[in-house]
Structure formats: structure tokens, C-alpha cells
A and B are shown apart, each in its own frame.
Chain A
């Protein structure tokens, strides 16, 4: 069990560019969650999946954000036309059934 992994760990981009992040959950974890954390705040829920089905999206997830989990394993989170307000730490977590969520190390996005 290698834990939840996220790539890249850091991303610096210019405003208006598209970025994509990847999350690999703990194997056999059927639920996968994306959260966003800004400085001085707790993580805020963005979206989550059960296997390949996207179950819920937060109102924080604007039209510029899209997430997929095509085969029920890894997931990607894409942000189109990035804005400075998108700068944050993007956290991924996974869980198996009704059990605790385990978090990855996060991807820190900086939009210049």
C-alpha cells in the first residue's frame, strides 16, 4: 500500500493557460475526492467519484474545471483558462466504502 500519490507536486503557470493534475488513489479504494485548500483555510470539497461515476460537484467547481476518473482508478482534474484566484493547493483523497479518507501530498498551483 503506497498511499495516495499526486502529480505534479508543484505547477507554475501563466494566467489563461490550461493545467491538468493527476491523482492515483490507494488501490481498491472505490471513492476518490478532490479538495482545494487556500492559505489559512481548511480544505474545501470540489468533487468526488465512486468508481468512474462522478457523484457530486461543489458550487466551487466553475465551468472551467473538469474532473474525470475514466476507469475507476486514477483521476485527473483540469483547469482551463486559469485565473490568479485558482492559485491553491489541490488535494486528492481516497476511501474504501464507509471508511476514513486518506489524503495525498497535494499539487500546489501558482498562477502568475
Chain B
């Protein structure tokens, strides 16, 4: 079945760049998403990319997609303490079907 893998923890210093990685197994994945979850809260959509794109930039966020290796990354430039949260990678084969999530990467930003 479909599977999405993420490293569980990442720690960076304030002002540095953070790179969160994700791999997926479903070759029919068409839409790939990054969500942010703060403690006790729901999921906030950060950005998404379609499989026909290699890169997408949105302010401090850059998403890179390597479709051949089924690898997705999220780069956060100038990481701030407010970026501390759990980041989830998710995929779906079409834009209106259930998402398959990874277990999340806990980002800790050290001041």
C-alpha cells in the first residue's frame, strides 16, 4: 500500500535554514502537501506541489520534488522560533481523495 516516510526530529538554530525530507512509495501520487501542526491544534496547510512541477517557492518556503526518487523536501529559510512544530508530508493520487500522511517531523528551533 501507499507509504510516506519522514525523519522524526530536526533541530536548527534560529536564523538558519531548515530542510525537512519526505519519501513516498505511490508512483501515482499527483498532489503532495506540507502541513504544520502546533501543540494541541489542527493541521495548517503550508504549501503543495503538483507532480508535474520540480520546485515551488512561497515566501520563506521552498518545496523541491524529485519524482524519479519519489522524494519531497520542504526548506524553511531564516527559521524562527515560531516555526517550531510538527511538519507532515502528505500525498494523494488526485486532488479530492483522502490524504496519506507521514508520521511527521518535529522541528525544534533553538534561539
Contact = CB atoms under 8 A, between A and B. Distances in A.
Nearest to A43: B101
B42 A104 contact: yes
A12 to B, nearest CB: 15
B100 interface: yes
Contact of B99 (A58, A98, A101): A101
B77 interface: no
Contact of B33 (A4, A33, A48, A100): A100
Given A98-B94, A98-B95, A44 B101 contact: yes
B42 A101 contact: no
A45 B98 contact: yes
A97 interface: yes
Given A100-B48, A102-B45, A45 B95 contact: no
Q: How large is the interface on B (under 10, 10 to 19, 20 to 34, 35 or more residues)?
A: 20 to 34
Nearest to B98: A45
Interface residues of A, number: 29
A91 interface: yes
B98 A56 contact: yes
Interface string A34-73: 0100001111110010100000101000000000000000
Given A41-B103, A48-B97, A100-B48, 11 more contacts: A41-B104, A43-B43, A45-B98, A95-B96, A97-B95, A98-B94, A101-B45, A103-B43, A104-B42, A105-B41, A108-B40
Interface of A: 4, 6, 31, 33, 35, 40-45, 48, 50, 56, 58, 91, 93, 95, 97-106, 108
21 contacts: A33-B98, A40-B103, A42-B88, A42-B101, A42-B102, A42-B103, A43-B88, A43-B99, A43-B101, A45-B99, A48-B98, A50-B96, A93-B43, A98-B94, A100-B48, A101-B45, A101-B99, A102-B45, A103-B43, A103-B44, A106-B42
